[in-house]
Amino acid sequence: MSEPYPRPDPMGADDARFWSYVAEGELRIERCADCATYRHPPRPVCAACGSDVVDWVAVSGRGEVWARTVIHPPTLPAFAARTPYAAVVVRLVEGVFMVGNVVDRDPGDVVVGMPVEVCITEVEPGFRLPLFRAADAGERRQPEDPSSSRRETPRRVTRDATTRDA
Amino acid sequence: MKSSTAAAVAGIGQTRYAKDMGRTELDLACEAVRTACDDAGLGVAAIDGFVSYHVEQVAEVDLMTALGIPELRLMLRTPSGGGGAASILGLAALAVEQGAADCVVAFRARNRSKAASYGADPNQGGRPWAKGGGRLRDARQWHHPFGVAAPAHEFALIASRHMHVYGTRPEHFGMQAVAQRYHASRNPDAIMRTEITLDDWRASRPIADPIRLFDCSLENDGAAAVLVTTLERARDLRQAAVRVLSHVQYGAPIHMELCDFFAATAAFGERDGGAVDAGRRLFGQAALTPTDVDVALIVEPFTVAVPLALEQYGFCERGAGGPFIESGATRWPDGALPVNTHGGSNGEAFIHGVNHLPEAVRQLRGAAANQVPGAEIAFVCGAISDPSGAVLLGVDR
Q: What is the pLDDT of residue A3?
A: 86
* Residues A70-92, mean pLDDT to the nearest whole number: 95
pTM of the model: 0.94
Query: How many Cβ pairs within 8 Å bridge chains A and B?
Result: 122
pLDDT value, residue A41 = 96
Residues of B in contact with A76 (CB under 8 A): 129, 144, 147, 149
The Cα of A41 is separated from the nearest Cα of chain B by a number of Å equal to: 7
Residues on chain A touching B153 (C-beta within 8 angstroms): 69, 71, 75, 87
pLDDT tens readout for residues B300-334: 999 999 999 999 999 999 999 999 999 999 999 99
| 8 Å CB contact of B157 and A101 | no
Q: Cα B42 from chain centroid?
A: 25
Q: Name residues 126-165 of chain A within 8 A of B (Cβ).
A: 129, 131
Contact B306, B300 (CB under 8 A): yes
**In B, which residues are within 8 Å of A7 by CB distance?**
134-136, 145
Q: Which residue of B has its CA nearest to A88?
A: B157
Question: CB under 8 Å to B91, separation ≥6 — which residues?
Answer: B51, B76, B78, B106, B247, B249
Contact B157 A67 (CB under 8 A): yes
Burial of B148-160, coded b for 16+ CB within 10 Å and e otherwise, reads: bbbbbbbbbbbbb
pLDDT in tens, A13-51: 899 999 999 999 999 999 999 999 999 999 999 999 999
Please answer yes or no on whether B207 and A91 come within 8 Å at the CB atom: no
Name the 3-class secondary structure at B234.
helix
Q: Which residues of B touch A99 (CB under 8 A)?
A: 142-143, 146, 148, 258-259
**For residue B318, with 0-12 CB atoms within 10 Å meaning exposed, 13-18 middle and 19 or more buried, which class applies?**
middle
Low-confidence residues in chain B, pLDDT < 70: 1-4, 113-125, 131-135, 265-273
User: In chain A, what percentage of residues exceed pLDDT 70?
Assistant: 84
Nearest to B161 among A19, A66, A75 (CB): A66
Q: What is the DSSP string of B34-77?
A: HHHHHHHT--GGG--EEEEETT--S-HHHHHHHHT----SEEEE
pLDDT for B114: 53
Residues of A in contact with B253 (CB under 8 A): none
Instruction: Report chain A residues whose CB lies below 8 A from the CB of B209.
Output: 69-72, 84
Q: How many whole angstroms separate alpha carbon A103 and alpha carbon A132?
A: 6
Cβ of A9 within 8 Å of Cβ of B142? The answer is no
With CA atoms as reference, the chain B residue closest to A74 would be B207
Contacts of B207 in chain A (CB under 8 A): 72
Residues of chain A neighbouring B141 (CB-CB closer than 8 A): 8-10, 15, 19
Q: Where are the alpha helices (DSSP H) in chain B?
A: 25-40, 60-67, 85-97, 151-166, 170-185, 198-203, 231-234, 258-264, 275-286, 305-312, 321-326, 344-347, 356-365
Q: How does residue A136 score in pLDDT terms, banded at 50, 70 and 90?
A: confident
The span from the CA of B12 to the CA of B358, in Å, is: 6
pLDDT on residue B136: 81
- Sign for the CA dihedral angle at B28, B31, B32, B34 comes to positive
A78 touches chain B (CB under 8 A): yes
Any bridge partners for residue A90, and if so which? A65, A98
Kindly report the nearest CA distance between residue B107 and chain A, in angstroms.
30
Q: How far apart are CA A86 and CA B289, in angstroms?
A: 41
**Around Cβ B32, how many Cβ atoms within 10 Å?**
26
Question: Between the CA of residue B299 and those of B179, B223, B240, B309, what are the distances in Å?
Answer: 15, 15, 25, 9
Specify the pLDDT at position A166: 39
Query: Cβ of B173: how many Cβ atoms within 10 Å?
Result: 30
- The dihedral built from the CA positions of residue A102, A105, A111 and A114, taken in this order, carries a sign that is negative
CA–CA separation, A52 vs B150, rounded Å?
A: 33
CATH topology of domain B3-115+222-395: Peroxisomal Thiolase; Chain A, domain 1 (3.40.47)
Share of residues in chain A with pLDDT > 90 (%): 74
- What are the Cα distances from residue B61, in Å, to B64, B72, B346? 5, 9, 32
How many angstroms separate the Cα of B99 from the Cα of each of A33, A92, B92, B255?
A: 48, 50, 11, 35
Q: What are phi and psi of B238, to 5 degrees?
A: -65, -40
Contacts of B136 in chain A (CB under 8 A): 6-10
> Quick check: B170 and B322 in contact, CB under 8 A?
no
pLDDT of residue B1: 45
Nearest CA in chain A to B259: A97
CA angle, A19 then A20 then A21, to 5°: 90
The residue of chain A with its CA nearest to that of B206 is A72
B341 vs B347: CA distance, rounded Å: 10
Pseudo-torsion of CA B105, B106, B110, B116, nearest 10°? 70
How far does the CA of residue B180 sit from the closest CA of chain A (Å)? 24
pLDDT at B81: 83
Measured between CB atoms, which of A6, A40, A74 is closest to B145? A6
B24 phi and psi, to 5 degrees?
-70, 160
B108-121 pLDDT per residue, tens:
999 876 544 555 56
Round to whole Å and give the CA distance between B228 and B92: 6
Compute the mean pLDDT over every residue in chain A, rounded to the nearest whole number. Answer: 88
Whether the Cβ atoms of residue B397 and residue B280 lie closer than 8 Å to each other: no
CA distances from A95 to A91, A98, B220, B263, B358 (A): 6, 10, 40, 8, 43
Select the residue of B139, B140, B146 nearest A101 (Cβ to Cβ): B146
* pLDDT of amino acid B22: 87
Tell me the C-alpha distance between B15 and B225, whole Å: 9
